Amino acid sequence: MAMDAKLVNPFIDAVTTVLPQMGFPEPKRAKLYVREKNAVSLGVSVIVGFTKQIRGNVVYNMTEDTAKFIASTMMMGMPVAEFDAMAQSAISEMSNMLTANAATNLTAMGLEVDISTPSLTVGKNFQVKISESQYLTVEMDVGGNIVELDIAVEPQ
């Protein structure tokens, strides 16, 4: 069994806990999908890997507009016209914080994990293969902006 719905909650909890602390509107869970193998990038995709008692990857997937909104909010409302180095750094940092929080939540469930550094990928029409079989996608609505979490992790 490649996916385990139980393992999605630590990620959702991370989003709903961490983002409001950074001045974001209350994130709401929108849709949940079961998908296979590839995550289709929305434009900006940040991939973070897991080892130890959980192995796999999570992808924070969003459009460039959403990425700019997030970067702007993180930088105290500073306008972000271009998705430049500073904005990319903000998105990486957010992905890192969310994943670290999810890792803490997993530890609370008795699952010890280590996380890698985030890799931020930008482009049009690319796919990220994160699973040999099925994985779960959760859409989080953050003030009308959708951040998609592609979660392909399994307990060891």
**Minimum CB–partner distance for residue 75 and another protein (Å):** 14
Query: What does the alpha-carbon distance between residue 126 and residue 111 come to, in Å, rounded to a whole number?
Result: 32
Candidate segments 3-11, 13-21, 46-54, 65-73, binder of another protein by CB under 8 A: 46-54
In contact, 110 and 91? CB cutoff 8 Å: no
Give the shortest CB-9-to-another protein separation in angstroms.
Answer: 21
Contact between 42 and another protein (CB under 8 A)?
Answer: no
Q: Of the candidates 6, 20, 31, 51, which one interacts with another protein according to CB under 8 A?
A: 51
Alpha carbon separation from 74 to 50, 70, 78, 139, 155 (Å, rounded): 25, 6, 8, 20, 32
- Whichever of 33 and 126 has its CB closer to another protein, that residue is 126
Say which DSSP state 8 is in: G
**72-131 positions binding another protein, by CB under 8 A:** 85, 88-89, 92-93, 114-130
Residue 107 or residue 121: which is nearer to another protein going by CB? 121
Closest of 126, 110, 106 to residue 47, by C-alpha:
126
